[in-house]
Amino acid sequence: MKHGKLQVFLNKEFKCAVSEDEIFRIVEIAGAVERKIKGEIEINIIGDELMKSLNKKYRQKNRTTDVLSFAWEEDGVIKSKTLGQIYISMPQIKRQSKENKVKEKDEFRKILTHGLLHLSGYDHQTDEEYKKMSKMEDKITNKCHAELDSASLAERS
């Protein structure tokens, strides 16, 4: 999907809580709110086994996680029109949505937004970084809820 300053490549190995159109729309909304979200973005919807393997290889953590983001221009080492890759574990999203008592699609939106923010330079290593990232994450997810949920209601009417 290409739209203005964004191009999204989507690979789905697992059934996802949201449609492809909604995934593309989430990325568009995030890019409109945070201007650093631009370029080519690869989004991979995967299972726990691959996520655990990636998490062990790149973060030395031998367990699954909800999202991993690989920014191509991190530390300015690689110059590319590709912003990076995001890997999302759908089984982990399902578990977290139950734990957090939220809908799967809402958890997915939050986690995709979190991954996009990591690609654009946000982090949460310090309290200050955490607050800044959380504020932007909330801003984007609230806009997603407002736009996507109202569109969904309009379609059902």
Structural domain contains residue 157:
no
The CATH number for 21's domain is: 3.40.390.30
Alpha helices in 5-157 (DSSP H): 20-33, 48-59, 90-99, 104-119, 127-144, 150-156
Number of folded domains that form the chain: 1
pLDDT value at position 75?
Answer: 54
Could you tell me if residue 57 is inside a domain? yes
Query: Quick check: is 77 in a domain?
Result: yes
157 residues of the chain, pLDDT tens digit each:
655 678 899 999 988 889 999 999 999 999 999 998 988 999 999 999 999 999 999 999 999 999 999 988 655 555 668 899 999 999 999 999 999 999 999 999 999 999 999 999 999 999 999 999 999 999 999 999 999 887 654 554 4
| Rounded-to-integer distance, Cα 36 and Cα 20, Å | 22
Do residues 148 and 22 lie in contact, with contact meaning Cβ atoms separated by under 8 Å?
A: yes
The predicted structure's pLDDT at residue 79: 65
In a domain, 155, yes or no: no
76 in any annotated domain: yes
pLDDT of residue 150: 72
Q: How far apart are CA 145 and CA 142, in angstroms?
A: 5
Domain assignment present for 156:
no
In a domain, 53, yes or no: yes
Whether residue 128 lies inside any domain: the answer is yes
What is the domain range of residue 38?
2-150
pTM strictly above 0.85: yes
